[in-house]
Chain A
Amino acid sequence: MSTDTNTARGKSPARGLTRRQVYERKAKQKSLIIAAVSLAAVVILIYIIVPLAPGWEGVKRSFFNWAVLTKTFPKMLSAFVLDLQLFFIAAPLIFALALIIALMRNVTSAALYPLRLFAIVYIDVLRSIPVILTIYLIGFGIPGLGLLPPYNSPYIWGTVALVLAYSAYIAEVFRTGIESIHESQRSAARSLGLSETSMMRYVVLPQAIRRVVPTLVNFLVALLKDVALLSFIGPVELLRQAGVYKSLFANFTPYVGAALIFLCATIPAIRFADYLMAKQNAERSR
């Protein structure tokens, strides 16, 4: 009996695979098949059931209209370039400002207490106001002071509003990262005679920033989407362009098109953040 199974096992691992590898390979195939079948079942169900809804024909015409999509898509893509431009201007400013605010929030010396207080108020206030409100208040309020063109542009003040709002969030991310670096690293740096500034710059910050990179990528994704909020104060970026087409064609398909464009831009970034997070977890548990 036992010799039977042994010889049977002895034969099966072809091409030098271990018994464990053969087993794992079979288990993997099995779970792939189960996943594929259940996914197909769900897709088929949706495909059959959704068109049974009484309003389906109407929804199809006003949301999934191929003719409208092909007509509007190229112009919407070029409107998205404006989103990207605003994003790439805002992002570096946000990181720089956030880092400064986080460092101000961290100062301990009594003489510099006003800096610390400023950072605390800055972070608290800007994090407590909805981003869209900050955009309205700054985007309409500051040009309303009577600035002359081009300094009254909603492009400028909208971007400033985004930078202020996001730098408050990201300053908190940096601060968490800084505080997560173990006290023993600071002790070691101090015992070598490094000044507080050198310790921060060469020992604490590089480790802190590395630790929060996945969170930062997630905030970048949120920022790319929130650039669309600027459409409420003027700039004709993707969302605004889609709104214009919606009115023009009396059809919602441009919004679906805009959603598709955002999806294509953000999903790779989200997956990248997941990958970074998994990599860090693996490193930490090693």
Chain B
Amino acid sequence: MSMPKLSLRGVKKSFGPLEVCKNISIDIQPSELICLIGGSGSGKSTLLRCINLLDPIDDGEILLDGVDISLPGYDPNPVRRKIGMVFQSFNLFPHMTVLENIKLAPMKVKGMSSAEITSQAQELLERFGLSDKADVYPDRLSGGQQQRAAIVRALAMEPEIMLLDEVTSALDPELVGEVLDVIRQLKTQGMTLMLATHEMSFAREVADRVCFLDDGKLLEIAPPEKMFTAPEHARTRQFLQRVLHRERLQ
């Protein structure tokens, strides 16, 4: 097997007395799609934020292409150019149009010219069905459109890894599909992806491996067929029974 794109080794993170990530280790291969599942508060968002260096970890290592990026004092900005992140609540900048949102980081971080990034942004918008929304402000978009715009904004930095944190959780059910389609596209293009999600059937369809987080512990990691049909731990079975039952009701 080649060198992992991203390795977590014994990652620990606490907020005060609350241990949120308890000794988490995973190797993620290039072009792999990892789904993080687990109950609310199990530490999915925190783990993704730690990988993006938005929250510093207390112990352990995070290796990107074999380089430890989690050393205290390591400059986070070059790392974030390689690792894009999209949030549950979109977090588009409300005072900028969609195009301005997309252009900001490539211009200010990579020093690209406005013309250069504009044509590239328009291509991306086209690809994700937003070409008529370039000059619109985020509050004029539907949730699904906002989330797709946020994904395009992260993609415009040409990251090597994308972290997606419950990107469909804030959406009306009929808008979920369009965002999931975007994720399928990214997978097809060979992007390395790590996503926290509550969409179990989607995880089953696209994931290469599924991680079950429980109370800050990485309890189980398995290919989706195994995770969803024959999980090892009782806690995993319980969790899956609960959410799959709910999914069937919808």
Q: Which A residues form the contact surface with B (CB < 8 A)?
A: 184-185, 187-195, 198, 202-203, 206-207, 210, 286
Contact = CB atoms under 8 A, between A and B. Distances in A.
Contact of A192 (B94, B139, B153): B153
A193 B80 contact: yes
Contact of A188 (B76, B78, B91, B95): B91
A206 B95 contact: yes
A195 B153 CA distance: 17
- Please name the 10 residue pairs, one residue from A and one from B, whose CB atoms are nearest each other, closest first: A188-B91, A192-B105, A191-B85, A193-B80, A193-B109, A193-B81, A198-B108, A184-B91, A193-B77, A206-B95
Given A190-B80, A207-B94, A286-B139, A202 B87 contact: no
Contact of B104 (A184, A191, A194): A194
B109 A184 contact: no
Contact of B49 (A187, A194, A286): A187
Nearest to A201: B108
Nearest to A206: B95
A195 B77 contact: yes
Contact of B95 (A187, A190, A192, A210): A210
Contact of A191 (B80, B92, B93): B80
Nearest to B79: A193
B54 interface: yes
A189 B96 CA distance: 13
A188 B87 contact: yes
A189 B92 CA distance: 9
Given A184-B87, A184-B91, A203-B93, A190 B105 contact: no
B108 A202 contact: yes
A19 to B, nearest CB: 32
Given A198-B109, A207-B94, 12 more contacts: A188-B91, A190-B54, A190-B76, A192-B104, A192-B109, A193-B80, A193-B105, A193-B109, A194-B104, A207-B93, A210-B95, A286-B139
16 contacts: A184-B91, A185-B91, A187-B49, A188-B91, A189-B93, A190-B80, A191-B54, A191-B84, A191-B154, A192-B109, A192-B154, A193-B105, A193-B157, A194-B104, A195-B108, A198-B108
Contacts of B157: 192-193
A284 to B, nearest CB: 10
B52 interface: yes
Nearest to B84: A191
